[in-house]
Structure 1
Amino acid sequence: MIELNEQNIDCPYCGETISVLIDRQEAGGQYIEDCQVCCRPIVFQVSEDVLNNLIVTVYCEDDVV
């Protein structure tokens, strides 16, 4: 069963707060999704803390190492 979690993130390009659905199965990975406002590619890095809370970090495509 897919468990989606709604998260609010700030676009690293335009600064707008957007609402995204994060699949818990993505924890430990990263993916790219376009901003709903400026359409630029946001890199999402998803992980879990020790209490199984999702941690979502976003980056500009050029900032990812």
Structure 2
Amino acid sequence: MTVPYRIDCPYCGEVVELLLDDSVDDQCYIEDCAVCCRPMALAVAFDADGVPRVQAAREDES
């Protein structure tokens, strides 16, 4: 199942909505910003209650 989640792009600062896959507890991947198209390095973790924690960084900072 996917969970919608909003973050601020680390490049342009615009709010973008991600669809997180909650079938995997801890994930790291690259996703392009929907506004500026730059690659964001995302670290996603879900706690025991299924609440996501998301960290977004510039790809060159990860």
The answer, yes or no, to whether TM exceeds 0.5 is yes
| Higher helix residue share | 1
TM-score, normalised to structure 1, is 0.84
Which residue of the other structure, out of 25, 34, 41, is the alignment partner of 1:27?
25
CA contact (8 A) 1:26 1:46 kept: no
2:44 aligned with 1:46: yes
Task: Report the aligned-residue RMSD.
Answer: 1.2
TM-score, normalised to structure 2, is 0.88
Give aligned-pair identity as a percent.
40
How many residue pairs end up in the alignment? 62
Aligned amino acid, residue 53 of structure 1:
V
Mark the runs of 5 or more structure 1 residues left unpaired by the alignment: none
Mapping of 1:48-63 within 5 angstroms?
48-63=46-61
Aligned amino acid, residue 55 of structure 1:
R
